[in-house]
Structure 1
Amino acid sequence: MSDTASQAPATSAETASPPGISMPLGLFVFTLLYGGMTVLAGVLAYKQVQLWPTDLAVESGIFAFLLLVVISSTLAQLYGKQMAQRIVWWGFLPLLIASVLMQLVLNLPASPEMLEGRAEDLAAFEQVHSTVWRVWAAGPAAYIVSLLLNIWIFDRLKGSGEASTIGLMVRGALASALSQALDSVIFITLAFYGLFPIMNLLIGQVIAKVALSIVLVPLLITFGVKAAQWLDARKSGQS
């Protein structure tokens, strides 16, 4: 038997990577997106938006956080549960660096030009970012619990064999809905309890996240898987 015939078929990670690099292009791109969304979710969470036509509300960080759910599920589907969990844990790094840089900027003196000509802008910046510390503290607690739960549920529902598109969407919806309901309770309680009545925000957050998890997240996961596979195949064709 020839050497060529005896070689095992290359894995998708190997065929998708150029020589000397072990990371598929899809994994690389989605990891970059993941790091950005971890930071943006904390910043957006400062604003609560109304769920019209009700009086219920939702914190705006939900939009970035749902993308984190989509990305982590996509990674679990294509590259395995352990890889997805690893990305979730490393997601703490951009959060930590961003929080340290924010404190540094808040403690550095403003320029004379800003103090004299844009004092209102400076006051608004400092008011928002100096009071957002509870959001930044609550985020990691809800983040790690809900995303690891999402990956665990998504992986456990996978079963054996090749998953169909419908099966992928159902798994994504169930995992996201359950994990996001728990995330809402943890995050809203830690971030805003005692600052203002949180019941409308908590109810609105749970309803919005569960609804989006059922309606939107399955479609985004399906798109994410297709996009990552396309990136991997494109890199494989260029290598």
Structure 2
Amino acid sequence: MDLPDHHGAAGAPRSFPRALFVMLLLYGGMTVLAGFLAFKQVALPIAELAVEAGIFAFLLLVVIASTVTQLYGERIANRLVWWGFLPLAVSIFLMTVVLALPPSPDMIASRPGAAEAFALVHGQFWRVVASGPVAYLVSLLLNIWIFSRLRGSGAGQNTLGLMVRGAIASALSQAIDSVIFITLAFYGEFPITNLLIGQVMAKVVLSLILVPPLIALAVRLARRLDQRPLAF
């Protein structure tokens, strides 16, 4: 379904779904945070595999996109994904400016090595962030498409059906996301086989275990929030 028309009469306050407003804020923050977290590879306690830490923020993007699809329709969810590029672009621009500005003498004197460490980490940030939008766009649009299609003509409307749809859509889309992102972001920097395998395994497992209940919870909370739309 499409977003309800919350426009009032001429001169009357306009309303907006409260839950959608909250999810828009969270979504924008997670698109930026996922890129920063992705720089760190987290070791898994099995088979010496690893994952980039950005998956934790990215899985929240999946939850939000699926929730928006469920409550407001595929068209609104696709718009959310496309507009998610805006905070990502702003963050890249600001990081470029900050890296170009010289550190203050006080920082150099009081925190030896801090300026170099900042430049070392965030100077390579561009490749991670530049790789993110490609994987981000493909995987999230695919997630929305699969999640919406599995709904069919009324199927999967109950909580169990919602969770099954969320698990399938998330697992498939995140496996593809992992291949795209890890290859573009880290190929040539170091051997990526363990990271790639770990990333796919982690995202699929988390998609099957964590994402479904989070989607069900998010939909329930969103419906409660929408009982009182925001007035502008």
Class of the TM-score when normalised by the shorter of the 2 chains: over 0.9
Q: 1:74 Cα shift?
A: 0.2
**Residues 3, 76 of structure 2: 8 Å contact kept:** no
SS at match of 1:119: coil
Q: Cα deviation per residue 1:37-88 (whole Å; 9 max; x = unaligned)?
A: 0000000000001110320000000000000000000000000000000000
User: Which residue of the partner structure matches residue 200 of structure 2?
Assistant: 206
Q: Which residue, out of 223, 227, 231, partners 1:233?
A: 227
Could you tell me whether the CA contact under 8 Å between 1:16 and 1:233 is conserved in 2?
no
Q: Across the two proteins, how many residue pairs are aligned to each other?
A: 228
CA contact (8 A) 2:15 2:229 kept: no
> In the alignment, which residue of structure 2 is the partner of 1:55?
48
Structure 2 CA distance for aligned equivalents of residues 200 and 16 of structure 1:
52
Residue 124 of structure 1: how far off its partner (Å): 1.0
Q: Which amino acid aligns with 2:149?
A: R
The 5 A counterparts of 1:94-173 are: 94-161=87-154, 163-173=157-167
1:219 and 2:213 correspond:
yes
Q: 1:43 to 1:99 in 2, by over 3 A?
A: same
For 2:29 and 2:90, how far apart are their aligned partners in 1?
12
Partner of 1:184: 178
Instruction: Name segments (4+ residues, structure 1) moved above 2 Å.
Output: 11-17, 19-23
- How far has the Cα of 1:119 moved from its partner? 3.0
What is the percent sequence identity of the aligned residues? 63
Could you tell me how far 1:111 is from its partner in structure 2?
Answer: 0.8
Distance 1:203 1:99, change over 3 A: same
Q: Secondary structure at the match of 1:58?
A: strand
Q: Give me the whole-angstrom Cα distance separating, in 2, the residues matched to 1:21 and 1:134.
A: 42
Equivalent position to 1:43, from 12, 36, 41? 36
Q: CA deviation at 1:202?
A: 0.2
Matched letter for residue 47 of structure 1:
K
Gaps of 5+ in 1: 1-10
Q: CA deviation at 1:12?
A: 8.0
Q: Distance in 2 between matches of 1:21 and 1:208?
A: 43
Instruction: Determine whether 1:68 maps to 2:61.
Output: yes
Residue 80 (structure 2) aligns with? 87
**What are the ranges of 5 or more consecutive residues in structure 2 without an aligned counterpart?**
none
Q: Deviations over 1:5-39 (max 9, x none)?
A: xxxxxx9845799x533421111100110000000
The question of whether the paired residues in 2 share the 8 Å contact of 1:13 and 1:22 is answered with no
Higher-Rg member (1/2): 1
The CA distance in 2 between the partners of 1:58 and 1:24, in whole Å, is 36
Give the TM-score normalised by structure 1: 0.90
1:47–1:60 CA contact under 8 A, matched in 2: yes
